[in-house]
Amino acid sequence: MKRVFPVFLFILIISGFGFSQYTPAEPEWNQSVEPFRIAGNVYYVGASDVTSYLITSPKGHILIDSGFRETVPLIQKNIVKLGFKVEDVKIILSSHAHYDHAGGLAELKRLTKGAFYASPKDAGLLERGGLGDPNYGDKYPFEPVKADHILKNGQKIKLGGSILTANFTPGHTPGCTTWTTTVKENKQALGVIFVCSVSAPGYSLVGNQKYPGIAEDYLGTFAWLKKQKVDIFLGAHGSAYDLEGKLGKVAKTPAVNPFIDPQGYKTYIEENEKAFLEKLAAQKVEKK
């Protein structure tokens, strides 16, 4: 018993700090893909479905999202493959506080020493490692990460000539943040959007005591998204904008950039708003 107790105590201590408690990656979302330039100074460095974007500049780089904890080594390799240095990432941004997009943020902070920015309504959830999520509870934990800076809606993040704007689009999480920027491609200015998420997988949209204003937040988000002028449509999941299909188009006709897709963006918003409204209406009927 004397030999067992210290081991047992050590396991309890480790578990208490959450060092070994995290949600493993979904393998089909985390396959390796070759990194590539999307347009201007925006590069794809993520996995097959969980995305990560590198925005480069002469004074350092900005990275959006980490994917899973297991995605971080892929991101590292992809940055290097493109000819950049991981340690030149000066700023790390988040779309939202779910394990498949924030699971590796703490590790990326350690690797890059970059400053991490988060929205006020997701900062607490990120710092708790996903615990107490208003829709998932404690189901999907990840390594906690503390924001160095708390964002304001509309705040512009500037680095070496690159400017990204934080746009709060709540619903999927209370602090869901959609990033926007403008890049130049063939002397043309293109509006780029990194949509946080507008899905509501298994969410309670009516009478949600942990997130009472969830339906109103979604409606406000859809209204804002529909007003945006978008040329290049990107998001937190590659499947949202047909990453695989567009890569196939690049291989066939490299002279045409399929990521310039304003109609694809409009269709995505319209279809997701319709699905949301149908789900909301059905839940209202169920609650009667």
Strand pairing class (53-55; 61-64): antiparallel
Token reading at 137: 């509870």
Helix (H, G, I), strand (E, B) or coil at 92: strand
Q: Which residue of the set 61, 96, 122, 231 is catalytic?
A: 96
Q: Which residue of the set 99, 136, 203, 211 is catalytic?
A: 203
Element (H or E) spanning 17, and its range? Answer: helix 4-17
* 149 tagged catalytic: no
* 237 tagged catalytic: yes
Q: Which residue of the set 49, 65, 100, 217 is catalytic?
A: 100
What are the phi and psi torsion angles at 202 (to 5°)? 75, 15
Q: Which residue of the set 172, 218, 231, 261 is catalytic?
A: 172
* 172 tagged catalytic: yes
Q: Which residue of the set 43, 53, 98, 218 is catalytic?
A: 98
- In terms of Cα–Cα distance, which of 142, 137, 136 is closest to 100? 142
Please check whether residue 264 is in contact with residue 232, taking contact to mean a CB–CB distance below 8 angstroms.
no
Q: Which residue of the set 133, 237, 241, 265 is catalytic?
A: 237
What gap in Å lies between CA 279 and CA 128, rounded to an integer? 29
* 61 tagged catalytic: no
List, by residue number, the catalytic residues. 96, 98, 100-101, 172, 203, 237
